[in-house]
Structure 1
């Protein structure tokens, strides 16, 4: 790859929240290498809920993105769209790098037309073919991970280096690490298991009774460990209810970090952990980014592997039922059978296997 030293302004289009931002971290690093002299701004959405942190809260002081333009997802107001187009035109990007999720060819063509109207002349990564829209299926029947699909779509810029741990580095600063260490101090010198039981999507929620049962087994099996609970402020009470199982079984000390840490400080806390256990969620991707092994409990609402934590050493429980790939955020008719068929014993088996392989 030969860096483009002449580009002065680059606009990166990426929607979503915590996990969506984290899985394109290697792509953002490639963009920074490809356009080292450019001011790089991200066009993104306003957070859709309190559990969905803004991209700026994830990327922090990395320098990968220098500024943000934001709009409301689903915006159709002509005046608001005209204002956004004018804001982009005023920025005068030399290049637009498209990292938004594939939402169909019609939407990709509509987006391309909008950005042309906003004065953009050069594009990288707009998924104008079915192949760019979809996660490829390999010869073993495994779907391409979302991070790999984005890397493929912007391959003209160079190698994303997905398998290099440095590509996922959040560049946590001392203050973030110190805050996490201070809140973990009640656990003493014990090894730590980090757990996040929350999710902003009903279809991904395994249920507090399952979590309580799992943590009871974990507390009994690993009394020498401390337990760190992580999540949004509104997940504090359900996390405490789940941790009752750990305490009743004689587990070690517990710290509830829900709502007490920023996303980046949470990543610093996860870096202390031997293992992360949680749903398909933003915290799971944070743990994977800091190279902490994950045991992840997945609904089958997405294709298998697409959103699994990236990297080696992770263990995922995913039941491929007849309605897999439904994309539902709320599952009523099928009663979340893909997720609720996952047993506590099944997850505990993966926890034991994961902890048997991590460094002591």
Structure 2
């Protein structure tokens, strides 16, 4: 590979989208170590959404970024974006977009070509690369991290099963702030990490379920601590859960950055939560997860990476699975609402015993 190239990496999304692409970002740095690497991404589309750069800054995986509003269609805005890209003069585009239609991919290809980029890597030209493979035996779909790695196979192996491929490279300051934040747990050697919030209403298991789960779990493990993480607007609901817990507890909602939260997650014995950014952070730092999923997505595409060996996922198939809705107004969230507290407790016990966690 030529040295001193300018590499533009196209990746949209928030925490989860960034984490599942983390091995690809490591592969790109390994392949283009002496090059300037910038990411082209979207501006946050939700108050709870953290941009790509909030996860990758300080890692050395990228040196900078360009961002733009999601679903930009205005010709003037597109010309402005094109002007930014042309001015930077990228030599290579790494295409790490989520699955999309063939027409959308052609549109993207033509746009980047008009930006003067000659070499485009990772463009999923075939249906096989555009879609998640389905395993007939397990009835599960391919993980998004695996599909992305296949798209970049021409430049090397992303090493999905290697710990270093998921390294977030925390700074000493991030480590210290995270450790200080959980000092209120005292001498508690083991603690759960919990995130009961989510950006999408369809993914929310419900406060009453969480209250019952925390109450019953606390009765079993009163000697363990618990740390609640999430955005600032989740603080009130987590204060209720914190007050239910019988042992040491701390509510960190809104107090830590996503990366600092990941340090807390790494120190916890187990993560409990929805399909969410914090769940993906937990899996990236190799913390076992018990995750509660709606059926809006195909099974396994967005499960914590390492499932089923290191994680347990509760996902109920229903006739409307794969709806991709953000809010369910017709079927009463029958997928996630059919998950019981007993099921979650059983999965916590199964994971604890399998991995000998505490």
**TM-score under structure 1 length normalisation:** 0.96
Aligned counterpart, 1:237: 236
Task: From 153, 165, 170, give the equivalent of 1:155.
Answer: 153
Aligned with 1:256 (options 237, 242, 251): 251
Root-mean-square deviation (Å): 1.1
8 Å contact from structure 2 (residues 213, 345) kept in 1: yes
User: How far, CA to CA, are the matches of 1:284 and 1:304 in structure 2?
Assistant: 16
Instruction: Work out the CA distance in 2 between the residues paired with 1:271 and 1:198.
Output: 19
Q: Does 1:307 align with 2:298?
A: no
1:270 lines up with 2:261 in the alignment: no
Q: Secondary structure at the match of 2:57?
A: helix
Deviation by residue 1:294-332 (Cα, 9 ceiling, x = unmatched): 000000000000000012411000001111000000001
Distance in 2 (CA, whole Å) between partners of 1:358 and 1:204 is 29
Deviations 1:142-164 (A, max 9, x none): 21100000000110010000000
Aligned to 2:166: 168
Matched, 1:203 2:202: yes
- CA contact under 8 A between 2:8 and 2:38: conserved in structure 1? yes
In the TM superposition, what is the alpha-carbon distance from 1:91 to its structure 2 partner? 1.3
Q: SS of the counterpart of 1:61?
A: coil
The residue that corresponds to 1:289 in the other structure is 284
Q: Determine the structure 2 residue equivalent to 1:186.
A: 184
1:41-65 Cα shifts (integer Å, max 9, x gaps):
0000001122111111111211101
| SS of alignment partner, residue 141 of structure 2 | coil
Aligned length: 353
Asked if 1 retains the 8 angstrom alpha-carbon contact of 2:242 and 2:251, the reply is: no
Answer yes or no: is the 8 Å Cα contact 1:29–1:160 preserved in 2. yes
Q: Which moved more, 1:25-34 or 1:121-130?
A: 121-130
Separation of aligned partners in 1, 2:291 and 2:242? 18
Distance 1:7-1:126 versus aligned 2 partners, 3 A rule:
farther
Deviations 1:172-229 (A, max 9, x none): 1111111111110111121110000000101000000000011011100101111100
Equivalent residue for 1:351?
Answer: 348
Residue 166 of structure 1 and its aligned partner are, at CA, apart by: 0.9
Spell out the pairing of 1:1-360 with structure 2 (5 A cutoff).
Answer: 4-6=1-3, 8-140=5-137, 141-190=139-188, 191-246=190-245, 251-311=246-306, 312-356=309-353, 357-360=355-358
Q: Which runs of 4+ in 1 moved over 4 A?
A: none
Q: Offset at 1:352?
A: 1.4
Determine the C-alpha separation between the residues in 2 that align with 1:254 and 1:325: 36
Task: Write the distance in 2 (CA, Å) between the matches of 1:300 and 1:189.
Answer: 39
| Contact persistence 1:7–1:95 (CA under 8 A) | no
Once the 2 structures are TM-superposed, how far is the Cα of residue 7 of structure 1 from its aligned partner?
5.4
**Unaligned residue ranges in structure 1 (runs of 5+):** none
Which deviations, in whole Å up to 9, do the C-alpha atoms of 1:116-141 show, x marking residues without a partner?
11111111111222111100012423
Matched position secondary structure for 1:62: coil
Residue 6 (structure 1) shift = 3.4
Shift of 1:103: 1.6
* Whole-angstrom CA distance in 1 between matches of 2:319 and 2:199: 24
Whole-angstrom CA distance in 1 between matches of 2:302 and 2:104: 22
Cα pair 1:136 1:144 within 8 Å, conserved:
yes
Cα distance in structure 1, aligned partners of 2:243 and 2:206: 14
TM-score for the superposition, normalised by structure 2: 0.97
